Amino acid sequence: MTARKIIIDTDPGQDDAVAILLALASPEEIEVLGITAVAGNVPLALTQKNARIVCELANRTDIPVFAGCDAPLKRKLVTAEHVHGKTGLDGPTLADPKMPLQDAHAVDFIIETLRAHPAGTVTLCPLGPLTNIATALQRAPDIAPRIAEIVLMGGAYFEVGNITPAAEFNIYVDPEAADIVLKSGAKITIMPLDVTHKALVTPHRNDAFRALSTPVGEAVALMTDFFERFDKEKYGSEGAPLHDPCVTAHLIQPDLFHGRHINVEVETTSELTLGMTVADWWGVTDRPRNATFMGDLDADGFFTLLTERLARL
Ligand code: BDR
Ligand code: CA
């Protein structure tokens, strides 16, 4: 099996960090061409820094990290320090990164990488608001048919919303960008809250990260301890959902996930339901199918994979 070439577009965020670590721990399946940061959980100055901190944690200072858009296409940035803490990576004490930020803009890197590789060989993995990806598609429409697949974390249908009663955070922050991506014609796989809320870090699962007794295992356990506080209180659940690693786990072991190829659209005008992903799960319209929308996860298999792979770093 040749490794899939991917670009991770991200707003770290503790769960983004775990998603990146999983990718970097899996070179047989995944080749990370670069990491592009976007404003989301925290402002861009922190997300680009956090992306480099995570690369250094994995001893992968060779991965190029680019800064991208610092605000959504048409709206003011909404952030989530209430979940992720002031830095976005609150929990462990991690040193400031020494590896440099690349000079190029993330959007240019995305466009140039897709043009430089044969069509259908580069997969995009957005883990935050879709601003960088939509900007690339707007600026260079020729890249859409060159994208192998977009595997993204965002949206919800049965679980509805986590930042408003109707909307999931990544889509809510930049609904116009999500609309552009969903209408791009690219092959799309979506990890909505419907599946990520099944990836719960129970105390037993977090103990397994800690028991790795490595800097990575310790850091992941501490990151999870931190953002769990908020989610446990909110959902009354045993642990917090590990959203973004569902994206990179899907690249490694797709049979952990089940979903449907359906029509998915995003609300961009209503004040009440702004950013809601309307998924035609039951096939009640004849709107074109544009995405595989995941709904189920083998949670034990997911955590086994994650723990085994993190142990390699
Ligand atoms: C998404 O929002 C962010 O807070 C997480 O990193 C994840 O990408 C979950 O709604
Ligand atoms: Ca994220």
Q: What percent of the chain has pLDDT over 70?
A: 97
**Residue 285 Cα, ligand 2 centroid: separation in angstroms?**
31
Best of 160, 244, 277 to mutate for ligand 1, by most ligand atoms within 8 A of CB?
A: 244
Q: H or E stretch including 138?
A: helix 131-139
Which residues share a beta bridge with 34? 7
Q: pLDDT digits over 15-71, tens only?
A: 999 999 999 999 999 999 999 999 999 999 999 999 999 999 999 999 999 999 999
In terms of Cα–Cα distance, which of 192, 198, 203, 174 is closest to 264? 192
5 has a pLDDT exceeding 90: yes
Residues with CB under 5 Å of ion ligand 2 are 11, 13, 16, 127-128, 244
Kindly list the distances between the CA atom of residue 281 and the CA atoms of 103, 151, 170, 278, in Å, as whole numbers in the listed order. 43, 18, 20, 9
Which is the closest atom of ligand 1 to the Cα of 13?
6
Angle, helices 215-235/14-24, rounded to nearest 10 degrees = 140
Pocket test for ligand 1, best of 9, 54, 169, 226 (most atoms within 8 A of CB): 169
User: pLDDT tens digits for 143-182?
Assistant: 999 999 999 999 999 999 999 999 999 999 999 999 999 9
**Is this prediction's pTM over 0.85?**
yes
pLDDT, tens digit (0-9, with 9 covering 90-100), for 272-286: 999 999 999 999 999
- What per-residue confidence (pLDDT) applies to 234? 67
Q: Please enumerate in sequence order all residues whose Cβ is within 8 A of that of 173, keeping only pairs 6 or more positions apart, or say none.
A: 40, 72, 75, 77, 78, 128, 129, 163, 275
Atom 4 (ligand 1) nearest CA: 41
Is residue 233 over pLDDT 70?
no
Q: How far apart are CA 280 and CA 289, in angstroms?
A: 9
Q: Is it the case that residue 119 has pLDDT exceeding 80?
A: yes
Query: Which atom of ligand 1 lies nearest, measured to the CA of 14?
Result: 6
User: Mean pLDDT for the chain?
Assistant: 96
pLDDT the model gives residue 239: 80
Q: Is the CB of 83 under 6 A from ligand 1?
A: yes
pLDDT of residue 225: 87
Pocket probe mutation, ligand 1, options 9, 11, 77, 79, max atoms within 8 Å of Cβ: 11
The answer, yes or no, to whether any atom of ligand 1 lies below 6 A from the CB of 9, is no
- pLDDT higher than 80, residue 302: yes
| 97 has pLDDT over 90 | yes
Q: How far is the CA of 200 from the centre of ligand 2 (A)?
A: 16
pLDDT for 230 beyond 90: no
For the residues 91-106, what does the mean pLDDT come to?
A: 96
What whole-number percentage of the chain has pLDDT above 90?
A: 92
CA of 279 to the centre of ligand 1 (A): 19
Residue 10 Cα, ligand 1 centroid: separation in angstroms? 10
Ligand 1 and 159: CB distance under 6 A: no
Residue 243 a catalytic site member:
yes
Could you tell me the domains of the chain?
Answer: 4-310 (3.90.245.10)
pLDDT category, 236, cuts 50, 70, 90? low
Ligand found nearest the CA of 162: 1
SS3 category, 48: helix
